[in-house]
């Protein structure tokens, strides 16, 4: 893999990861209709996730494992952003949860979210690859 392509996927993963974080933070701001806003955040994030996998497959023509890894990296970046926002909120606002749990979330959230993101992206990219071969 050449350097420009490597930089291309990493830059895309960073941007998409930041978008995941922004979606999670912004959609959590409204105090009314909380369930609806959470559902909306899930739908927008799922659309972004599917778009990312499709872009990696159709435009960058990356192999299946690379697509899954890149999607997992983007999800981990978004989870780290959300954990960071929660940690900052804990430092500013009054909360009864121990601060160490928020620091632990900086490590745990990216792992817990990236693992299933990798598996689902692996399956989705395998399906896309099969469909492409059949066409």
Dihedral sign (CA 37, 23, 41, 38): negative
Write out the chain's pLDDT in tens, 135 residues.
455 555 588 999 999 999 999 999 999 999 899 999 999 999 999 999 999 999 999 999 999 999 999 999 999 999 999 999 989 988 888 767 778 888 899 999 999 999 999 999 999 999 999 998 887
Q: Dihedral sign for Cα 120, 124, 64, 75, please.
A: negative
34-61 burial, b for 16+ CB within 10 Å, e for fewer? eeebeeebeebbeebbeebbebbbeeee
Dihedrals phi, psi of 46, to nearest 5 degrees: -65, -40
Q: What pTM was computed for the model? A: 0.89
Task: Give the pLDDT of residue 7.
Answer: 58
In the three-class reduction of DSSP (H, G, I as helix; E, B as strand; rest coil), residue 117 is classed as helix
Is the separation of the CB atoms in 111 and 53 below 8 Å?
Answer: no
Q: Are 71 and 46 in contact (CB under 8 A)?
A: no
């Amino acid at each position: 893999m050449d350097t420009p392509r490597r930089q291309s996927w990493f830059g895309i993963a960073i941007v998409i990861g930041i978008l995941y974080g922004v979606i999670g933070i912004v959609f959590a701001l409204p105090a009314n209709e909380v369930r609806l806003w959470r559902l909306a955040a899930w739908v927008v994030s799922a659309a972004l996730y599917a778009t990312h996998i499709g872009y990696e497959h159709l435009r960058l023509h990356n192999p299946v494992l690379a697509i899954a890894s890149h999607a997992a990296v983007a999800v981990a970046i978004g989870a780290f952003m959300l954990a960071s926002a929660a940690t900052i909120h804990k430092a500013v606002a009054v909360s009864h949860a121990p601060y160490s749990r928020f620091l632990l979330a900086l490590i745990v959230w990216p792992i817990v979210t990236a693992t299933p993101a990798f598996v689902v992206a692996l399956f989705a990219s395998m399906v896309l690859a099969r469909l492409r071969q059949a066409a």
